[in-house]
Chain A
Amino acid sequence: MLRFVVRRLITSVLILAVVSAVTFFLFFVVPGDPARLSCGKICTNEKLAEIHHNLGIDRPLVVQYGDYMKGIVVGRDIIETGDKVHCDAPCFGYSFVNHQPVWETFLDRFPATLSLALGAALLFLLGGVSLGLVSAIYRGRAFDKVAIGLSLTGASLQIYFIGIVARAFFVDKLQWLPQPGYTPLTEDPGQWFAGLLLPWIILAFVSAALYARLSRASMIEALQEDFVRTGRARGLSARSIYLKHAGRAAISPVVTVFGLDLAGLLGGAIITESVFSIQGVGRLAITSVFASDLPMIMATVLLAAVVIVTANLIVDIAYALIDPRVRIS
């Protein structure tokens, strides 16, 4: 098991190195001169060259990439608005727009995304999976039919529709819920919870549908496994048959999808954040793109990649924990 984890860790680091290199080079292949952005309206060639030099983009790409990676790992010196400053690791450079360290801005935004993602994920995982498992056990009966109908409804809805409708209805009209938004947990836990409640529920409702259907399908398949029949033939309790035996077989596909989903959410739930006015990583990415804030865009893309690769690693480890057959290969 330990060997398996170590091997997967090494692969993950390699993948990240490749992703970072590809991202880096892609950004410098695209047309447009980042120096022009910070050059201002009256831009002379000398000034442009100076900015080029300050940004370090007059050097070969490989050197720039090495420098960038070095900044992330150990920090580096950067010429920012004319002054030489030391940028501590992990250094993703300074924003072209507000001239703040990128990492600080990211750290400022990430808790909102994290709160939104984890809360919603907990809700849709628990809700969706239990709905799916119970539907599979009561397959074809009333409970199953209602659950399928409900999850079909959920799956057909889009956040930007149901989110806006729910906000207008529950917040503006009925005033059951406060205006959604993000308040740091450390500042006011009550506010934090109240502001995120509606986004959690809506995001969970839309996603839980997928989990209900997925776990229902894989549970139905698992219940037809021979070893489930063996369990019945041995007089095992329904609880053991459903949870210990069939449930364990049914959970693997759910874990895969969940890992990727959670990673996607942590990388920035762009639409949800926009609909519910939450200043998270997703909105940061969008505003950076519109402002051509290159260091910011690089950082959001890279960090999203880190999150996704990490999630995949966790999924693989979870797989090996669930299924002993995975550990040997």
Chain B
Amino acid sequence: MTAPNMPFLDVRDLEVRFPTDDGVVHAVDGLSFTLQRGKTLGIVGESGSGKTVTGLSLLGLHDPRRTQISGQIWLEGTDLLTLGESELNEMRGEKIAMIFQDPLTALSPFYTIGNQIAEGYRRHAGGSKAAARKRAVDLLGRVGIPQPDRRVDNYPHEFSGGMRQRAMIAMALSNNPSLLVADEPTTALDVTVQAQILDLLADLQSEFNSAIILVTHDLGVISQVADDVLVMYAGRCVEKGDVRALLSRPQMPYTWGLLSSIPRLNSDVDVPLVPVRGAPPSLIDLPSGCPFQPRCDHSWRVAADRCRTERPVLRPSGVPGGGLACHLDEETRNRIVDEDLLPLWEGSRS
């Protein structure tokens, strides 16, 4: 089946476009990444950077009449983009599962939690209703719902936010998927619950050896659970690599901006947060150069106005498995990190 060196998931040059009346929206623009089983890839970026669109295309959930998708999504030797709707539908929920951001709206208000878990389970695994119900009770217990045999008959509105997200996870795990796409799984939850959910995901991952793609705008979440991180900007990967290496020495001005905008518990209250100035570009009329250039504080350091005229390509960076799309030369980047950024971040850490 899978060649030993072949990655479990191999996304190559993924492009997702939505034709609209105003023009074509380039939601994802040439994205490539790989992921092994048992590993977690964090995809991070602002709203509209293409994170969620990427997650949805892994499951083929875009309306084919309104979407143009190109590239390749290899999952264990099969290119998902060549599959027909019915073949893909067989894989959804079974091999690939998705956890959504807001468990209140992502669960149907009309059916009990148990009914919803059981329905998806039976769809792929078959078996009797009683067996599916037992499976639902087991799963709810597994994700830490107290009294699962009683709570299985509750409706989503009778659950708290954290419990709903646990139920959502139970639902996604019902058929032991090998790839789990978690789209902002903790954004709607408060911080203590967030930590519990992330722990739960990590536990279940080590148990089932699934690959997880964690889509979030929260670098804090990424640093807690991801093995690799991919920073998206305007539908492209601008920086990626091993999570520790990348977060300790980020190389791309956009990643710097994201890190500088995180509030830190131990920083002085009078140290202002630094937001990334400006707003993401329109995905209809992308600038011809670096998409981040209009918001970049460092593009003046690059000679000949290259940032404005030439799109930087993703090339290997010093980080293991890393990539970087930036015109700044290595020396300048290291100087900025060492002299300006690390003291700022460390200062607030110490």
Contact = CB atoms under 8 A, between A and B. Distances in A.
Interface of A: 140, 225-227, 229-237, 240, 244-245, 248-249, 322-325, 328
B42 interface: no
B105 to A, nearest CB: 4
A235 B105 contact: no
B99 to A, nearest CB: 9
A226 B92 contact: no
A250 to B, nearest CB: 11
B20 to A, nearest CB: 14
A328 B97 CA distance: 32
B107 A235 contact: no
Contact of B124 (A235, A244, A324): A235
A131 B90 CA distance: 29
B93 A235 contact: yes
Interface in B90-112: 90-94, 97-98, 100, 102, 105-111
Contacts of A225: 105
Contacts of B102: 226
Contact of A235 (B65, B94, B106): B94
Given A232-B61, A235-B90, A322 B110 contact: yes
Contacts of B155: 324-325
Contact of B108 (A232, A235, A245, A328): A245
Interface residues of B, number: 29
Interface of B: 59, 61, 65, 89-94, 97-98, 100, 102, 105-111, 119-120, 123-124, 155, 157, 168, 171-172
B166 to A, nearest CB: 15
A234 B123 contact: yes
B110 A235 contact: no
A229 B100 CA distance: 9
A324 B119 contact: no
Contacts of A233: 59, 61, 92-93, 97-98, 100
Nearest to B91: A235
B110 A237 contact: no
7 contacts: A225-B105, A229-B100, A230-B100, A233-B97, A233-B100, A235-B93, A237-B89
B123 A324 contact: no
Nearest to B168: A230
Contact of B92 (A234, A244, A322, A328): A234
Given A226-B106, A236-B123, A248-B110, A324 B93 contact: no
B106 A227 contact: yes
B61 A324 contact: no
Nearest to B174: A234
Closest 9 CB pairs of A and B: A235-B92, A234-B93, A235-B93, A226-B105, A234-B120, A227-B108, A233-B98, A226-B106, A230-B106
A324 B123 CA distance: 24
A244 B111 CA distance: 10
A229 B168 CA distance: 13
Given A234-B93, A237-B123, 6 more contacts: A226-B102, A233-B97, A244-B119, A245-B108, A248-B108, A248-B110
A318 B36 CA distance: 50
B233 to A, nearest CB: 25
A325 B106 contact: no
A225 B106 CA distance: 8
A230 to B, nearest CB: 5
B108 A236 contact: no
Contacts of B100: 226, 229-230, 233
Contacts of B89: 235, 237
Contact of A236 (B65, B93, B109): B93
A118 B265 CA distance: 68
Nearest to B154: A324
A227 B123 contact: no
Contacts of B110: 245, 248-249, 322-324
